Structure 1
Amino acid sequence: MRVYLPSTLPALARVVAAGELGPAPLNGFAVTPALVEWYASGDTEELEYVALTEAARASLRLLAAGQEEGAARRVVLAAEVPDETVKAGAGLKERAHVRVVEPVPLKLLAAVHVDDPAAVPDVEAAIAALPAADAGDDDARFVVDGVEDHELLWYATQEIPDLLS
């Protein structure tokens, strides 16, 4: 199953150093039955884009929580994990939200999606606006939603060292 795992550039560097993403459980996003039911007219590619977008929002929250230092660029790791390691459903907020119950070895990463450096000012603005947006401020929500105008760039796994340098 393709799972989109929110991350940051420093966290990606740790994944490379450790050889895996963990510890489990890991929050991720995927094409779940709830997402398929909600987005009934979408094909697989559209549904995967929704899951990727949700993971990018979660990456923004990692950046906003200050859990990671470094450039304000959203990062999403796309991994092909065994179906039996993915749990969806009860207790998860978003339709695409899943939990991966085992660490994800680096060899299961299929791609990395990262903001272009040109997106950094908008990502920083979204991070600053996030508390007000969560409190219901429509103007702040507009700023946070606006970061999604930036498409994440796709990187093959063999490009990770160049991305991190």
Structure 2
Amino acid sequence: MRVYVPTTLDGLARLRDEGRLPADLDRYAADDASEEAEYAALVAAAVDSAALAGGGRRVVVVAELADPDGAVPLRDVVAVHADESAGADPEDDLGWFATQEIGALLGG
């Protein structure tokens, strides 16, 4: 199942450094396989990320999980959506980043 996990840049660093995000994080799943449902799940996760980030960059980790309630291993992450910079308009869409770009998102 594809899940959308709201997080922060610190959470993204944890994913990179520890190889997973914990199971206790909130996450969203699309109600069906339509693009509209997936976009709605992404937007809901982005709203939560904004609250977590407190004005910083919104970050949403997207993963394909066998257990949608379990930990989120880095190997199951298919993409990261994030603001291009801090202070982005919360109405703007998030940028799409491949997992290989996580280091660049974190400034390294």
Gap change, CA 1:75 and 1:121, over 3 Å in 2: closer
Gap change, CA 1:105 and 1:121, over 3 Å in 2: closer
Q: TM-score, normalised by structure 2?
A: 0.90
Runs of 4 or more, structure 1, over 3 Å off, are: none
Report the Cα distance in structure 2 between the residues aligned to 1:55 and 1:160, rounded to whole angstroms.
18
Structure with higher RCO (Cα < 8 A, 6+ apart): 2
Q: Which has the higher helix share?
A: 1
Which residue in 1 is equivalent to 2:14? 14
Equivalent residue for 1:79, pick from 57, 60, 63: 63
Give matches, 1:102-117, under 5 Å: 102-117=70-85
Name the amino acid aligned to 2:65: V
Report the Cα distance in structure 1 between the residues aligned to 2:9 and 2:53, rounded to whole angstroms.
10
Equivalent residue for 2:93, pick from 143, 151, 155: 151
Name the amino acid aligned to 1:47: A
Larger radius of gyration: 1
Q: CA deviation at 1:63?
A: 1.9
Q: CA deviation at 1:25?
A: 2.6
Q: Which runs of 5+ in 1 are unaligned?
A: 37-42, 65-70, 87-99, 123-146
Which residue in 2 is equivalent to 1:31? 30
Q: Which runs of 5+ in 2 are unaligned?
A: none
Give matches, 1:91-110, under 5 Å: 100=69, 102-110=70-78
Q: TM-score, normalised by structure 1?
A: 0.60
Of all paired residues, the percent bearing the same amino acid is 47
- Partner SS, residue 26 of structure 2: strand
Are the counterparts in 1 of residues 57 and 88 from structure 2 also a CA contact under 8 Å? Answer: no
2:11 matches 1:44: no
Which residue in 2 is equivalent to 1:61? 51
Name the amino acid aligned to 2:82: V
Q: How many residues align?
A: 107
